[in-house]
Chain A
Amino acid sequence: MPQHELILLKSMMQPGYTGSLSDYEKTGGYHALRNALGKIAPADVTATVRKSGLRGRGGAGFPTGVKWGFLPKDYHGPRYLCCNADESEPGTFKDRQLMERDPHQVLEGIVLACYAIGAETAYIYIRGEMVLGSKILEHAIGEARAAGYIGKNILGTGINVDVWVHRGAGAYICGEETALLESLEGKRGLPRIKPPFPATHGLYNKPTVVNNVETLANLPHIMNRGAEWFAAIGSPPKSTGTRVFCVSGHVKRPGNYEVPMGITVRELVYEHAGGMRSDKPIKAFIPGGASAPFLTPAHLDVKLDFEHVAAAGSMLGSGGVTVMEEGTSMVWAALRLMEFFYHESCGKCSPCREGSSWLVQTLRRIMAKRGRMQDLETLLDLCKNIAGRTVCAFGDAEVAPIQSTLKHWRQEYVDLINEAETANLIRPEPVGATRERLS
């Protein structure tokens, strides 16, 4: 395995490291906070983060320092930071590890971000199912509060930052930042129409920043070691730093691997994740969570950074890399993901709400060998009428599995439909909008 320096997972990989406050302090924890609060101007913290090139690790990849810079300079009321810990993108399980194994790394990042943007309250919106993670975070917040790193008058600087854990309740859409804010306000998690953006009208209509767990965990290291150090890692100038890639599927050693951005999928799968479990060749992979289009073995040497994955027709997204071996049905795989999106569509926009239902039913019909050749056109037509026509990016995400599998493995669809016709099962099952939940 090629050697490179771990940043986020370094401490937790040490034998005996528990993630307690004293363990964290022994590895240099809260050094960045001590150095920054009251000593470096908040605007300079933002400038450092901007210069480091750090981009959001949640999926969209927006430059973090630039996002912070959108907050109004002349507004003196409350501002908020929300830590997006609603890790729900199928294929992604890195934030869970960052929070459960080294919670103070995340908390230090939260306090630094609050200081930079002038927020006195931060909410960690953690997905409801992660009960253990929320307990670990609450315990860590208690430790940090007792040590004076969180709360009123932090380390005597006069700076106040309070941090609260807020559990979600099982809705994927609440990972979308405006849906997260709605949910945090005690409402259904329906994404808001933008503009206005959260930077000016966020939580309780106040200026708000929403940052992912992994994004925030990078901040102490950037402050300690400088923007130039961070900007030299990975695939500069636009994809700097490491990513914690979550490898799942048919590999020998699935799991979280922190590597510099810009390594290839081939390296990730064969050198880190141990290769394929049955030594069958790779048939397909998803490079960035369920919302990212499928890629093929022809893309194994694509560099895993924002630009190269986008150029290959997919997206780096949340860093969830799912690998499928030869023999996996791509129609089945697309259907599984489509069932997820159908289940999780929040129902606000008609194209997504109704379209996801039609897509699932049409795919099920094809899988059941009752499809017709014109179903393929129906699928593509539906996709075209969903993507880009919804309030949030969910619409673009849900068509990705179908469009990409139809592009690369169209023959599999055709074969299933031909089987239907030869089996004389051309009478299609009815497809139509339904309120019934399919799963």
Chain B
Amino acid sequence: MTFLNKYKDEIDEILSRYPVRRSALIPLLYVAQRDQGYVDESAMQEIAQLLKLTPPQVYETVTFYTMFNLKPVGKFHLQVCKSLMCALVGSDTVVEWIRAKLGIGPGETTADGLFTLSVVECLAACGTGPMMQANEDYYEQLTEDKLDRILADLRSAGTSPLKSGPFMWPEPVNSQGVNSEE
């Protein structure tokens, strides 16, 4: 019962939000994934016991949702949107840049375990494409130069100041910095 004990307070708080325990399944899977980067079988077993579900009920849910990793991914999980709206403004090129710079294609991880690349469907940033998500952060209006800086920042600092803040686009006309990245 390691995982449940480790996060006992947080898990109790999550359970208190719902009148039916099963509703806590996805939030608890997020806790498990945060713990070790992916959801393994022992975490699923523990969650099943806690929520009084069968292991298949947990497993079918984990595998339905694309955001749960069933095996380890790199320290930085790069997810490039390839849906039509981003593709119109060059998302396929971003995938090629990453392939050239990191030597990985979709679904692959660099040998040093730092970067995993996924090509994903729409992330709701269609007006500011091409874009990618790196772990929890969005990076939008990507250019090759910007991508270089993001990758360098991630390597050296684990995050990058180029990540998106609270979203608004276009910014109000009287504020500075419209298209400052271009």
Contacts and interface: CB of A to CB of B under 8 A. Distances in A.
Interface in B111-140: 119, 121-129, 133, 136-138
A322 B136 CA distance: 26
B65 A247 contact: no
B67 to A, nearest CB: 4
Contacts, number: 167
Contacts of B138: 132
A150 B133 CA distance: 32
Interface stretch (B2-10, B17-25, B145-153): B17-25
Interface stretch (A30-38, A165-173, A418-426): A165-173
Interface in A78-96: 78, 87-93, 95-96
A128 B67 contact: yes
B124 A92 contact: yes
A100 B84 contact: no
A185 interface: yes
Instruction: Give the interface residue-count category, chain A.
Output: 35 or more
A132 B121 contact: no
B169 A254 contact: yes
A22 B25 CA distance: 35
A250 interface: yes
Given A90-B85, A166-B27, A186 B167 contact: no
A189 interface: yes
Contacts of B84: 90-91, 290, 322, 333, 336-337, 340
11 contacts: A13-B172, A90-B121, A91-B126, A97-B168, A100-B167, A164-B17, A172-B122, A248-B126, A322-B84, A337-B83, A340-B121
Between A96, A167, A322, A346, the greatest number of chain B beta carbons within 10 A of the residue's beta carbon is seen for A96
A256 interface: yes
Contacts of B20: 185-186, 204
Interface residues of B, number: 52
Contacts of A185: 20, 22-23
Given A185-B20, A189-B64, A336-B83, A172 B121 contact: yes
A328 B66 contact: no
Given A90-B84, A246-B126, A19 B166 contact: yes
Contact of B85 (A91, A188, A255): A91
A255 B26 contact: no
Interface in B52-100: 53, 57, 60-61, 64-68, 82-85, 87-89
A113 interface: no
